[in-house]
Structure 1
Amino acid sequence: MQRFKQLALALLIASSSAAAVSPATVTKGVLTIGQEGTYPPFSYKDAQGNLTGFDVDIAKAVAAKLGLKPQFVLTEWSGILAGLQVDKYDVIINQVGITAERQKNIGFSAPYAFSSPQIIVRKTGGGAYQTLSDLKGKRVGVGLGSNFEQQLRAAGGINVVTYPGAPEYLADLAAGRLDAAYNDRLLVGYLIKSQNLPIKGAGIIGQPEPVGIALKKSNTSLKAAIDKALLQMKADGTYAKISRQWFGQDVSKP
């Protein structure tokens, strides 16, 4: 089946239109996608319980370009990369930063978004932390197994407190159980804009970082097909429409 799937994807790449390939040629027409489902505005459930978000819309658009039906598999962030290695899903579309360390074990599409880490504090009584050095000796909440956790630990001297997802540590931050939190600048901006949380952004750390669609390193045919789909989305305006809906800007460039 895997050999057949690779052949089908190779045909997909060669095709001038992804839709020209029968959906039945690739895993019965389904692209399985790993996501958290608890990470607004990227992947979360709305008031009606429907999965929504920027990464959800990107995933649906990529699947459409491939001529496949998207099937989402929700997994906590701490285990999401391991799930890819045991074929729990074909890809992860969940703001996975492209890092040298991750590239040793998993493959990535071309970047589809760029963002920067940001320190998050309470609106009232929060510290004016501008650098990671300012966080030394402070209790800082972060997602378990995330690139953000690695950055905090590498900085040294920070009391890193890990959580399964952003809602948990943002709640503890708002309640005063943490001095700060650390996450994506786009997430911070969205929360400040759309939700009544008593938090605000502080220092933005480093340069914009690339985010890609994660997949198995061996699945080069799928990578090529996805890269082609992303190029088509940018060329026909699909990507810009999705990006502006969620962030008011095109986040496909540094």
Structure 2
Amino acid sequence: MPIAISLPRSPRRRWLAAVPLALLLGAAAVAAPAPAAADLLAAVKARGTLRVALEGTYPPFNYKDQKSGQLAGYDVDVAKLLAAKLGVKPEFVSSEWAGILAGLSGGKYDVIISQVGINPKREQTFDFSTPYIYSSPQLIVRKSEAASYPSLEALKGKKLGVGQGSVYEQQAKAVGGIEVRGYPAAAETMQDLAVGRIDAALNDSLMAAYLLKASNLPIKAGARVGQVERMGIPFQKGNPQFKAALNQALDQLRADGSLKAVSLKWFGSDVTTAP
């Protein structure tokens, strides 16, 4: 424990009295707080790039195309459109989901565009854009599954696969009595589900639809088990100019139909407005 040292009061008063006023003013100037850091918008404009974090393993939202080797997906297209509206280029940074929010806190990138759900806990730490996509939690089960799981509570005593660090992991653990297993990527979750290592998987409804369409695994859609989720773009607090510019860019993309067009491309329906 640090040792507190008390200076005698009267000598301290005498020392202060003997110091010329000019020196005191100079000391005050030195001790004055540093000016506030520049808004993120200025940094992005000066750099000429918007540093965007995403998983890169989460089709159809963001993944590496096997043919081109380039990142593709709904989130990638949205990031490119937003960067263009801001007058900069997107610079993509891949990160595992379990550490992606910590990387944002540490300043490794400017934003995350990777299906980050807006919730009160996250809003304590980060600012968010307005929502740019909506979905709801949905179970996926084996085609041979005879049991009915109409809710998460019905999975008590069962094994449930979820994304590591995802909001679905939090929701499942909050129920209690479910053996929750976290996976770094959806493909691994589906593989374990198909071979019986877990009894069900939990993901968002849009992801579930894509997985069922793209996969040859013996899996099928289960029940929707939660409320509609709002997905937004998080960034560090204290950047009001950046927040305003980001939301203005999203509003423009909605107004000119670009956001809807990207949604139709990847999902066949407009998922950019609340149901």
Question: What TM-score comes out, normalization by structure 1 length?
Answer: 0.89
> Hey, what does 1:33 align to over in structure 2?
52
Matched-pair contact (CA < 8 Å) for 2:60–2:210: yes
> Hey, what does 2:84 align to over in structure 1?
64
Q: Distance in 2 between matches of 1:125 and 1:148?
A: 21
* SS of residue in 1 equivalent to 2:161: strand
Does residue 150 of structure 2 align to residue 116 of structure 1? no
Q: Distance in 2 between matches of 1:242 and 1:209?
A: 19
- The Cα of 1:126 is off from its aligned counterpart by 5.8
Equivalence map 1:169-248=2 (5 Å)? 169-248=189-268
> Hey, what does 1:46 align to over in structure 2?
65
Question: Could you list the per-position Cα deviations for residues 189-210 of structure 1 after superposition, in whole angstroms to 9, with x for gaps in the alignment?
Answer: 1111233232211010222111
Matched-pair contact (CA < 8 Å) for 1:126–1:179: no
- The Cα of 1:227 is off from its aligned counterpart by 0.3
Q: Which letter maps to 1:196?
A: N
Gaps of 5+ in 2: 1-35
Q: Residues 4 and 173 (structure 1 numbering): CA distance in 2 closer, same or farther, change over 3 Å?
A: same
> Hey, what does 2:20 align to over in structure 1?
none
Q: Distance in 2 between matches of 1:87 and 1:98?
A: 20
2:169 to 137, 149, 153: 149
1:168 to 175, 180, 188: 188
Q: More displaced, 238-247 or 197-206?
A: 197-206
Question: Could you list the per-position Cα deviations for residues 163-183 of structure 1 after superposition, in whole angstroms to 9, with x for gaps in the alignment?
Answer: 122122111111111101111
Q: Which letter maps to 1:151?
A: Q
* SS of residue in 2 equivalent to 1:47: coil
Matched-pair contact (CA < 8 Å) for 2:45–2:87: no
Does residue 251 of structure 2 align to residue 251 of structure 1? no
Q: Which letter maps to 2:56?
A: G
Q: Residues 217 and 7 (structure 1 numbering): CA distance in 2 closer, same or farther, change over 3 Å?
A: closer
Q: Distance in 1 between matches of 2:41 and 2:159?
A: 50
Structure with bigger gyration radius: 2
- The Cα of 1:90 is off from its aligned counterpart by 0.2
Q: Residues 199 and 29 (structure 1 numbering): CA distance in 2 closer, same or farther, change over 3 Å?
A: same
Q: Percent identity?
A: 53
The number of residues matched between the two structures is: 238
* SS of residue in 2 equivalent to 1:94: coil
Q: Distance in 1 between matches of 2:146 and 2:61?
A: 26
Q: Residues 165 and 7 (structure 1 numbering): CA distance in 2 closer, same or farther, change over 3 Å?
A: closer
- The Cα of 1:143 is off from its aligned counterpart by 1.0
Q: Distance in 1 between matches of 2:220 and 2:245?
A: 39
> Hey, what does 2:126 align to over in structure 1?
106
- The Cα of 1:150 is off from its aligned counterpart by 0.5
> Hey, what does 1:8 align to over in structure 2?
42
Q: Distance in 2 between matches of 1:191 and 1:206?
A: 19
Q: Distance in 2 between matches of 1:195 and 1:164?
A: 18
Matched-pair contact (CA < 8 Å) for 2:39–2:238: no
Q: Residues 4 and 216 (structure 1 numbering): CA distance in 2 closer, same or farther, change over 3 Å?
A: closer
Q: Which letter maps to 2:124?
A: K
* SS of residue in 1 equivalent to 2:196: coil
Indicate the RMSD between aligned Cα atoms, in angstroms: 1.6
